[in-house]
Structure formats: C-alpha cells, structure tokens
Structure 1
Amino acid sequence: MDIALIPARSGSKRIKGKNIKPFLGMPIMAYPIKAALAAGCFDKVVVSTNSKEFGEVALSCGAEVIFRPEELSDDHTPLAPVIEHGIKELQGQGHHVERACCILSTAPFVRPSDISKAKEMLVERNVGAVFSVTSFPFPIFRGLKMSEDGTVSMFWPEHELTRSNDLPDGYHDAGQFYWLDAAKFLSEKKVYMADALGFVLPRYLVQDIDTPEDWHRAELMYRVLQESGEVEL
C-alpha cells in the first residue's frame, strides 16, 4: 500500500499550537490532509502525533492517527526516525507499506497534482526518494558572509567576476513532501538518498512558516494564489 504520513507534534515554541492554529479559517494541518486525500494516490492518510488534541483535529479532517512516543516528539527529533516509526507502526498492524509520502503539517501550499506527479517520478525512475525543491532566487556562488565586525566577503571569491547566467542554479528543500520507497528508506534510514530526485516547485508556492511573520506572509500569499487559481484547495 501507499501511505501519506503527516507528522504533527505538539510543543511548538515560536508559534503556540502551530499545527492546529487556524490558517485563513482552517487548521493549518487540514491543508496537507485534504491535499493528500484529493491526490487520490493513497490507501491511507495518517497523521503521526504525540497529542490527543491534534489527533482529534486530524480525525475531523478525514485522516487516521497513530501516536508516537515523546522521545520522537521534541525540538531536535529529525524527520527520518518519525517516518520510520510511522511505517513500522502500520507494518505492525499487518499492512505492507510499499511507498510512503511524508507531507509536512504546515505546508498549506502543497497541491494534490504535485503529490501525484511526484509519485509518478518515483515509480517511473525506480528511485529511493523524490522530494520537493525550489530554486534560490540568487546564484548561491555569489553568496556573502559577514564577520562579527560587519565586514562582508564572498564564500566563493573565485566567482566575483563570473556572470550570474554562467553559474548553475542552486536549489533547496521546499519543505512540502517526501516520497519514499519504503524498503529502501528502512534500509538507509534517511530521506536524502543517493538516488533522490528533486521535484521542482516555483518559488511563489514555497514559504517556510517558523515565525508569526512567516505565518502572516503565508496567508497573504495564499489569498493571492487562491484568486489566481494556483492553489487547488
């Protein structure tokens, strides 16, 4: 079976109750749940949480729930052990998990069509992982660092005179979803496998939400994307 696994722990410090905080009138966790359900490519959509309250919200949005221990729910827990726990919990219930897609709980811009297209990439290319990426808006090889006294210098001074259009594009994790071949993932226990492919998203669909300012910016972005039809929920 193919599963969507949405990690949603309680205990966020910068935005209290972040995973169930209303985002334009709906708990933010509801957006990835609804996107996963609408994608039509999952046998189960499951929220992994340490919170009874979060679990109840997940159920009301149409997801199933598994509870994970507190040692996998602190600020320093990486994503891979949470995914591993979710897969093994379902395996322990007698399910054969062939593929898992971890969708982040605070990803309101995730689109059902992108989820399903990324699955096609995973299957057709027979790789261990496909995850969302987006490009940096400026060439990373022209990046600057700043010392304690405020002076700046280039990370790669050899590119000071290189034209921007002669430099390769740089990409970063877009923080939306991670499709995984379950067997390969359980063997390697990491998301960034050697054969991982990037599913490229436009920058206007990507926004980390870590602070109240990020949250406000994301809501403004979402309203515009709704009006233009770029988001699907």
Structure 2
Amino acid sequence: MIAALLLGRKGSQGFPGKNLAPLLGRPLSWYPMRAALDAPEVGGVYLSTDDEQLKTLARANGVEVIDRPPHLATNAALAEDAYVHGRDEIVRRTGQPLELLVCLFCNAPTVNPAQISEAIAALRQNPDLDSAITVSRYNMWSPLRARRIGSDGLVHPFVDFEALGDPTTFSCDRDSQGDAWFADVALTVIRPGNLDHLEEGVSPQRWMGKNIHPIYNEAGLDIDYPWQMGQLEWWLKAHGWKEA
C-alpha cells in the first residue's frame, strides 16, 4: 500500500491561519490534499493535525484525520517526529505494511499528481533510492550570496567562500557557480524505513534519507509569510488552476 500523509499544525507564528488562507477561491491546504487524492498510485490520504477547521476540510474531501498529540503540535515539534507518529497510525489502522509514504505539508500547495506518480515510479525502478523529492532552482539564494550580521554589526559571508570553490572564479553573475537547487518540501516520497533510521538521513529533512532523487519543480515552496502568496498563485495558474 502507498499512503499520503499531510502535516498541518494550527499555531503558525509567521503567518497565522496560513493552512486555510484563501488561494484562488480555495483553502491553501486543499491543493496538496487534491494532489494526493488524484494520484492513482495512492491508496489512502491522511492528515495529521490539531486544527479542527483543517479536520473539517479533510473529512469533507475524503481525507482521513489523525489527531496530532499536543507534544507534536508545538513550535518546537519536528516534522520528522510527526511523520513517524502518522506512519505508525496509518499502519495500525490499515493493518498493512507501507510500500511508500507520500509526505506533504498543508502549507505547500506547489505539487500535482503527475509529480507524485513520477516520484513513485523512480523509487520503484531504483531500489537504492531512499526518497524522491521536488527541488526548485533558486540561484539568487545560493550560498555564495548568503550573508550574516556579525558580532561587529557588519555584513559577512554566511559561509567561507573557500568552501564553495575557487573565490577567484566568483562573480556578481548569480549563475556563475552553477545552479542552486533547494528541497522545496512540496513533495517527498520516502521509503517508510527512513523514519526508523532518522540519524542516517541528511539534515535538516532527515526523513528523506541519503540517496535522494530529484523531481524538478519551478518556484515550489512551503509558505511561511503572507508575501509569498503571490508566488503560490503564479504556480497554480501556471499548472492550470483558475479562480474557483
């Protein structure tokens, strides 16, 4: 069995109520739910949440609800622990082992059923892969351009340039060091065993394991601030969605 598990916590601080924010006339979290429901390989879709409004939305769309324990619904709680809890609950309810787990976030609508199918196919074809994830190219945010404010109050490189290559080859051209791909966490399809060996996974999304296959996305993201809504709307319209 392949199951999809969405995470959606109630108490966002950067963007309160983001999971239910209206986007093209629909709640934001409706889109990843719809993508999972429409993926032909997925046999069950589940939502782990402490938000009663999200539970209502899920049930109205045929998504099963998993009550998120309070200790997994705090600002300090880690997504990886919520995925472990959700995985275990799915197995308990179905009585079946999971072949793969489709991991989604309610605040990341930049995913569609075709990407889910592509990720599942990649994992079925290559048993050495731990996961398949959507990645987006953001060269403007490469490590070369990242900065920190030092104790002296001045701007400094976030990492030593030598760690990125030969500094004499760097230029103001944002593409000069090659493409900077980011795990946009819109989609992660994993082997469930990854959750039993989180210490072996690549930080910070350790549930992805080590051997990670890319599913190319464009401008994917999980939203944390209201100013990102325009990007989400652009992505959805580019993939055929219109105002409800």
Tell me if TM exceeds 0.5: yes
Alignment of 1:139-154 (within 5 A): 140=142, 142-148=144-150, 149-153=153-157
What's 1:75 paired with?
A: 75
Deviation per CA, 1:4-63: give whole Å up to 9, x if none: 000111111222222122212111111011111111111101111112322111111221
Cα root mean square deviation, aligned: 2.5
Per the alignment, residue 42 of structure 2 pairs with: 42
- TM-superposition CA deviations, 1:99-140 (whole Å, max 9, x none): 101111112221110111011111111122111112222483
Alignment pair present for 1:132 and 2:145: no
Given that residues 3 and 46 in structure 2 are in contact (C-alpha distance below 8 angstroms), is that contact kept between their aligned partners in structure 1?
Answer: yes
Match of 2:197 among 182, 188, 194: 188
Equivalenced residues, count: 226
Q: 2 CA distance for matches of 1:217 and 1:196?
A: 26
Shift of 1:176: 0.3
* 1:1-233 matches, cutoff 5 A: 1-93=1-93, 94-126=95-127, 127-138=129-140, 140=142, 142-148=144-150, 149-153=153-157, 155-156=160-161, 158-162=166-170, 167-182=177-192, 184-189=193-198, 190-203=206-219, 206-219=220-233, 221-222=234-235, 224-225=237-238, 229=240
Conserved? CA contact 1:20–1:57, under 8 Å: no
Amino acid of the residue matched to residue 88 of structure 1?
D
- Inter-CA distance 36–72: structure 2 relative to 1 (3 Å threshold): same
Which AA in structure 1 matches 2:228? D
Change (3 A) 1:141 1:217: closer
Shift of 1:200: 2.1
List gaps (5 residues or longer) in structure 1.
none
Identity %: 23
State whether residues 104 and 186 of structure 2, in contact with CA within 8 Å, keep that contact through their aligned partners in structure 1.
yes
Report the Cα distance in structure 2 between the residues aligned to 1:224 and 1:181, rounded to whole angstroms. Answer: 31
- CA offset at residue 72 of structure 1? 0.6
Describe the shift of the 1:144–1:212 C-alpha distance in structure 2 as closer, same or farther (beyond 3 A): closer
Separation in 1, partners of 2:139, 2:195 = 34
In the superposition, relative to structure 1, how do residues 223 and 36 fare at CA in structure 2: closer, same or farther (>3 Å)?
closer
TM-aligned CA distance change 1:47 to 1:121, over 3 Å:
same
Q: Give the TM-score of the pair, scaled to structure 2.
A: 0.82
* Kept in 2: contact 1:139–1:168 (CA 8 A): no
- Indicate if the aligned counterparts of 1:101 and 1:180 stay in contact, CA closer than 8 A: yes
SS of aligned partner of 1:131: strand
- Kept in 2: contact 1:5–1:100 (CA 8 A): yes
Q: Tell me the TM-score normalised to structure 1 length.
A: 0.85
